[in-house]
Amino acid sequence: MRNYKFRLYPTVSQEDVLVNNINVCRWVYNKFIDYTKKGTVSQYDLQDYLIELKQQESWLYNYHSKMLQMVCVQMSGSQKALKSLKENGKKTGSLRFARYGEYRTFIYNQSGYKLENGKLTLSKIGDIKIKQHRIIQGKIKQVIITKTKSGKWYCSVTCELDKTQPPIINFKKVVGIDVGIKNFAYDSDGSVTPNPLNLKKMLKPLARIQRKISRRQIGSNNRKKAIKFYQIIHERITNKRKDFHHKLSTTYARKYDVAVVEKLQLTNMVKNPKLSRSIMDSSWGTFLQKLEYKCKLYVEVEPRGTTIDCSRCGNKVPKSLAVRIHRCDKCNLVIDRDYNASINILHKVIPSERRKSTPVEISKRSMTQEAHSKDG
């Protein structure tokens, strides 16, 4: 399966119809929430209840049937996710009603859509202008229409590809990657990528617009305009972060066939009050997810000992987060701590004899970095 995301440019009248479809799906979803208050209901029971709703509310027949049926699928998925969280010991409540503005998606599955000549044709809606910047491969299985908080419309096209041959993997093209806050990625070949920290750069504009929102009267048009600008800033931050993740993951996927990374426990890591914002801003999980589907082979290893162990001799060198240089008293290796960790990550899946291949010139570069940091 492959997804393509395109920008939609509906007219004013078409946008009203799209918003109306979203509100109808939200109304049906909230009816399902009320129906499932007594307990978990199967998807088949939800479909039967949808038929009863159509009989009670005849105006539902004016909307595409598959679109309403996908709300049943969504509700069933929400119940399964809630059940899974409870089984894992998480504290959860019941499913909540979707408020206006929170529900921004509807789905056309299997039928009711057509994409050609720069137009997306949806059943009972009409032709919508679409910016198709890529050629679609495979058979279209469903179309997801989404409205962002800033008011933009997007279309996600899910396609089923034909059976292809498995990729040929060259195990010599392997790299260990260590992600961090100061340096977003440091690999075992010595390449380092600084962390852009897009949210941190936009904290002042966000604080300014939040103060502006607080001064506006609730329900006024000026408050709505300020909220929309606030949402636009967050959307820009998200787009910058996604662009950075896509470019970096594509670089690694084209250069290497095998990517070895740490198996991070992000839920526990964000509990640190001093680093939680930087960790969330870095969004390592999203980057690793992109790296996983782009690389030919993606391997996760346990992070235990990757920072403490010496990549050359295996000696344990404990260090705090403030210490950025790894210094081994046994073999006199002096390198960046993230570089040392990336090599150890690579050693988790290859023989330890490769430790002898650690470049000597790394020590010179690391000592120069440490000298600059002391001068600063």
Question: Over the Cα atoms of the chain, what is R_g?
Answer: 26
Q: Which position among 187, 309, 336, 338 bears the catalytic label?
A: 338
Specify the DSSP element, H or E, that contains 201: helix 198-201
Separation of alpha carbons 308 and 348, rounded Å: 14
Q: What b/e string do you get for 113-147 counting C-beta neighbours within 10 Å, with b at 16 or more?
A: bebeeeebebeebeebebebeeeeeeebebbbbbb
The bridge status of strand 105-109 relative to strand 174-179 is unpaired
- Cβ neighbour number for residue 56 with a 10 Å cutoff: 8
Specify the DSSP element, H or E, that contains 143: strand 139-147
Structure tokens at 324: 């950025």
Task: Of 162, 125, 122, give the one whose Cα is nearest residue 142.
Answer: 122
Task: Of 359, 358, 268, 363, give the one whose Cα is nearest residue 311.
Answer: 358
* Residue 281 among the catalytic residues: no
Separation of alpha carbons 362 and 80, rounded Å: 50
Q: Which position among 257, 262, 281, 336 bears the catalytic label?
A: 262
Whole-number Cα distances in Å, 12 to 16, 81, 313: 6, 37, 67
Beta bridge partners of 261: 177, 300
Beta bridge partners of 299: 260
Structure tokens at 239: 């787009």
Spatial neighbors of 149 by CB under 8 A, at least 6 apart, are 101, 104, 231, 234, 235
Structure tokens at 323: 């210490």
Whole-number Cα distances in Å, 88 to 41, 82, 83, 91, 302: 20, 10, 9, 9, 21
Residues labelled catalytic: 178, 262, 338
